[in-house]
Amino acid sequence: MEKILVTGATGQVGSELTIALRNNYGPENVFAADKRPALNELSPSGPFCLLDVRDASAINQVVDANNIDAIFHLAALLSAVAEQKPQQAWDVNMNGLLNVLETCRAHRCALFFPSSIAAFGPETPSMNTPQDTIQRPSTLYGITKVSGELLCDYYHHRFGVDARGLRYPGLISSKTLPGGGTTDYAVDIFYAALKSQHYDCFLRADTQLDMMYMPDAIDAAIHLMTADSKQLKHRNAFNVTAMSFTPQQLAAEIQKHIPEFTIAYIVDPLRQAIADSWPRHMNDSAAKAEWGWQAQFDLSAMVTDMLKKITLT
């Protein structure tokens, strides 16, 4: 990778990934793009352009003009928003991906595609979820994720596109707030704990989900994209996880730092139904075996680092 384009660059993953890529590859070689304007350090630290991934010619123009050879395609609507706007989510998540894959085919670019635990459904084994198993997601977001995995596989086998991807769990960042996801509680809770020492959680206390701290998520994406292609059997949809916890367990870990912190549960039926359709804990042995995946942050280390790094504005 020499000239990189990041779509969805102002989002929860994109904003931190862009900075990490710029640190690794040089700011002038990492082009950030998003439908909405850049905030804070994203724009001053390197090139930024407004880009709607539903506009195929605009993607082609950015890639052609800047000799892009790798695209990290993060532009998408997340699970809860996608349930409220399913047609728009299909358009952005699927037509946007198809446009990016067509550009990769024409310009011989490598592609990173973020899949998700959402690509699994209620029939999927929920504990120790295998790398290869039944995938019948019941959410629009999950349908776009499993379809995206298959579309990336097709472009690899049919056109030779070097597409690679990860099934991310819920992601927790100290730098960027999430937008419209079901796992957002695991970020919101930290701001509430610091601001008011209380959090009203929109998921049930016992809702166990896979999670990962953003530094691990960024390292996993870059590590996968620089791995030996010949070793990648599963290339477009590696299960990766770092920890699996419930809101109750996360609250207890925060209370070790903020003893007066309290939590209540005011369940949002939409996001609870989404969370209930996802697995509890994935098996990520394929990622470990094929490209050496290894998380660095567990629950205790993540909570300690989050409380140290979060700044209340």
Q: Which two tokens stand for residue 208?
A: 């166990």
213 as an active site residue: the answer is no
**CA 80, CA 52: separation in Å to the nearest integer?**
21
Q: For the sheet containing 4-7, what is the strand order?
A: 48-50, 30-34, 4-7, 70-73, 110-116, 163-168, 238-239
**CA 61, CA 99: separation in Å to the nearest integer?**
12
Q: How far is the CB of 13 from ligand VAH (least distance, A)?
A: 9
Q: Which is nearer to ligand VAH, 30 or 140 (CB)?
A: 140
Q: How far is the CB of 232 from ligand VAH (least distance, A)?
A: 22
Q: How far is the CB of 226 from ligand VAH (least distance, A)?
A: 23
Binding site for ligand VAH (CB under 6 A): 78-79, 116-118, 141, 169-171, 178, 181-183
Q: How far is the CB of 190 from ligand VAH (least distance, A)?
A: 15
Q: Are 69 and 110 in contact (CB under 8 A)?
A: yes
- For 2, other C-beta atoms within 10 Å of its C-beta total 10
Q: How far is the CB of 142 from ligand VAH (least distance, A)?
A: 9
Catalytic member of 25, 141, 155, 168: 141
- For 120, other C-beta atoms within 10 Å of its C-beta total 28
Q: Which is nearer to ligand VAH, 46 or 180 (CB)?
A: 180
Q: Which is nearer to ligand VAH, 66 or 138 (CB)?
A: 138
82 contacts: CB under 8 Å, gap ≥ 6: 89, 93, 139, 140, 141, 144, 180
3 contacts: CB under 8 Å, gap ≥ 6: 29, 31, 66, 67, 68, 69, 70
Q: Are 306 and 238 in contact (CB under 8 A)?
A: no
Q: Which is nearer to ligand VAH, 181 or 215 (CB)?
A: 181
> Whose CB is nearest to ligand VAH?
181
Q: Which is nearer to ligand VAH, 178 or 215 (CB)?
A: 178
Tell me the catalytic residues: 141
